A and B are shown apart, each in its own frame.
Chain A
């Protein structure tokens, strides 16, 4: 690393805003993890409700028993077990419902597979808890067909903002057909919890990046150091590159810090298992053929690019504004504003445009597993890939503009 970049790094990292940003990130990560952990529950072996950290080993124990390929035979066995349970009078109470003891002894162990079966066999747009009660083991043979049927139904529904075209439908059906079956099952609660709050981790990281980068150029204008920088030999070229490099390093560092802390803490508490499971274990309708870990990597990639885009935008604003304060205000409005806007009920195009804003892009897990496709130059490209390309292009456009703004700055 060159000397100027090291100094620029030092300037960013010695500011109070940097330490405040780290503190904000740690506090929010701890808050998000503690909310999820304390909110977790499962029916314990004694039939009593178990809450908090204690739920994870038990759920892991049950889900591991079902780990492996989700074959139709495995689904049929689950339907069979469920059928027997519900047809044995000693498991039922006077209202005809399953007793707590029976639930704790048998049903809770199949919660994961049962919920997938319920999802597959429920009518389109619904989740019918009791649908499994009406199934025979032989029905489970149609598990994957039912899922595809549901996908078709979802694609054929009427949407006020515009229906899927035949081309779109064929695209998503093909994507779904390309997903290897049987799905891989495993205990995925840890990863599920990671995905639950991932967008907020990105949100706060983007905010902290903006907080740290806002003074990179505008701070020089505000303090008057711009006179010295711009009149020095490297003040109109190398130092700008050094500032951009240092900003990128800080942004990347904050991202790695936030994601590593959040992911490792969450998985450390809830369990690391399940990275190799199909993402459909978490999002049953997901049209992508990724494992949970591959989906995590995509989500991190998209969310990370959204944060870097916020960083690039912050730097551009910083190069054009005379104080860091309006830069931070502008970024906060830019981050929060689109979140307050509801999706359009009349225009899918508007929604697509809105999704490209960082505040929507950070909801990366939902974007990777969603049914949105963009038509670009006759090609159909899934939304999450468009997002990645869009972010890279905008960053690539903003950086030279930032360079130019500082290079041409006049000290008035």
Chain B
């Protein structure tokens, strides 16, 4: 049984509190880190991976401080950073062999595991191609493969679905679901639906702190009675958009259907609807940078 404990973990950069006194206990399962840009997700993940020391607090694995575990802890770890460098002159398989060697695999073992993972992330065909020829999505898949080379017990994935097309994202979600048994998987993403599908538990971060923790249901339950649907004339849409937190807007002739997140009923004809995680997100982060929705991501 794995247990990763964060005890009052903080990281300050001069006056800025990137992570502020986070305490939580993670056991086997998939944890989604949700938060706006600058919420401290990446900093927290870096501290969990031991590549950034906390200013205060401690992170323990099965009761032992991770910094004192050294190589033993890193051997349990798989990490996909948000933006990281590939060696452009290496082929995909060479890159994986190299990372495999870094992770303590013998070269034959690294080769065998690399072959298997390249197949898993659908890169077998281009295994011998130089990474410089890869698209963003291919690089991201290679990144996911390298994180899993040592069959890690703690898998930390920072924005793993960035750059993946919808089909690849589905494949990734299934992969994580299969992998998650007996592992701690921590992933952050801006794509709310990814967390919604994959995560057993969601850790909501805001301004360096842990705002809330729970399952999708638990979080969305807190939004019950706060999500409304109503039809208004199209010419008034802009005004409503400015006045309320509108999570969706759909044109229907000269009318628009609005989905509004509000603690008060926005109009007498507004109807309560079932809340989603995206509504929850918008409610808590409407004053910060808006999360990228599926549609927006695809449009981009």
Chain A interface residues toward B at CB < 8 A:
3-4, 7, 10-11, 14-15, 219-220, 222-237, 239, 410-412
Shortest beta-carbon distance from A80 to chain B in Å:
69
Question: Chain A residues near B87 (CB, 8 Å)?
Answer: 11, 14, 223, 225
> Which interface residue of A3, A224, A231 has the most chain B CB atoms within 10 A?
A231
B46 at the interface (CB under 8 A from A): yes
- Report the bound CA distance from A14 to B94 in whole Å: 13
A223 touching B85 in the complex, CB below 8 Å, given contacts A231-B50, A411-B46, A412-B13: yes
Question: Chain B residues near A234 (CB, 8 Å)?
Answer: 71, 101-104
Question: Chain A residues near B89 (CB, 8 Å)?
Answer: 11, 14-15
What residue in chain A is nearest B70 (Cβ atoms)? A236
Chain B interface SS verdict (over half): loop
- Report the bound CA distance from A233 to B106 in whole Å: 13
Shortest beta-carbon distance from B215 to chain A in Å:
28
Shortest beta-carbon distance from A109 to chain B in Å:
58
Asked whether, in the complex, the Cβ of A224 is within 8 Å of the Cβ of B74, the reply is no
Asked whether, in the complex, the Cβ of B74 is within 8 Å of the Cβ of A233, the reply is yes
B239 at the interface (CB under 8 A from A): no
CB within 8 Å of A: which B85-107 residues: 85-87, 89-90, 94, 97-99, 101-104, 106-107
- Report the bound CA distance from A3 to B98 in whole Å: 8
Shortest beta-carbon distance from B189 to chain A in Å:
17
> Which interface residue of A235, A236, A410 has the most chain B CB atoms within 10 A?
A235
Question: Chain A residues near B106 (CB, 8 Å)?
Answer: 3
Shortest beta-carbon distance from A149 to chain B in Å:
63
Residues 42-56 of chain B, each 1 if its beta carbon lies under 8 Å from chain A, else 0:
000010011111000
B79 at the interface (CB under 8 A from A): yes
Report which of A220, A224, A235 forms a contact with B83, defined as CB distance below 8 A: A224
What residue in chain A is nearest B83 (Cβ atoms)? A224
Asked whether, in the complex, the Cβ of A225 is within 8 Å of the Cβ of B104, the reply is no
Asked whether, in the complex, the Cβ of B46 is within 8 Å of the Cβ of A233, the reply is no
A233 touching B52 in the complex, CB below 8 Å, given contacts A224-B85, A227-B84: no
Asked whether, in the complex, the Cβ of A231 is within 8 Å of the Cβ of B85, the reply is no
Asked whether, in the complex, the Cβ of B53 is within 8 Å of the Cβ of A231, the reply is no
- Report the bound CA distance from A222 to B83 in whole Å: 11
What residue in chain A is nearest B71 (Cβ atoms)? A233
Known: A224-B85, A225-B84, A227-B81. 15 other contacts (CB 8 A): A3-B101, A11-B89, A14-B89, A223-B84, A224-B81, A227-B79, A227-B84, A228-B79, A228-B99, A231-B50, A232-B150, A233-B104, A234-B104, A410-B51, A411-B81
Shortest beta-carbon distance from B108 to chain A in Å:
10
- Report the bound CA distance from A233 to B79 in whole Å: 12
Asked whether, in the complex, the Cβ of A224 is within 8 Å of the Cβ of B101, the reply is no
What residue in chain B is nearest A223 (Cβ atoms)? B85
Asked whether, in the complex, the Cβ of A7 is within 8 Å of the Cβ of B97, the reply is yes
> Which interface residue of A4, A15, A219, A227 has the most chain B CB atoms within 10 A?
A227
B188 at the interface (CB under 8 A from A): no
Question: Chain A residues near B79 (CB, 8 Å)?
Answer: 227-228, 231
Shortest beta-carbon distance from B89 to chain A in Å:
4
Question: Chain B residues near A10 (CB, 8 Å)?
Answer: 90, 94
B196 at the interface (CB under 8 A from A): no
Residues 5-22 of chain B, each 1 if its beta carbon lies under 8 Å from chain A, else 0:
000000001000000000
Asked whether, in the complex, the Cβ of B102 is within 8 Å of the Cβ of A232, the reply is yes
Asked whether, in the complex, the Cβ of B51 is within 8 Å of the Cβ of A411, the reply is yes
Asked whether, in the complex, the Cβ of B46 is within 8 Å of the Cβ of A227, the reply is yes
- Report the bound CA distance from A1 to B102 in whole Å: 15
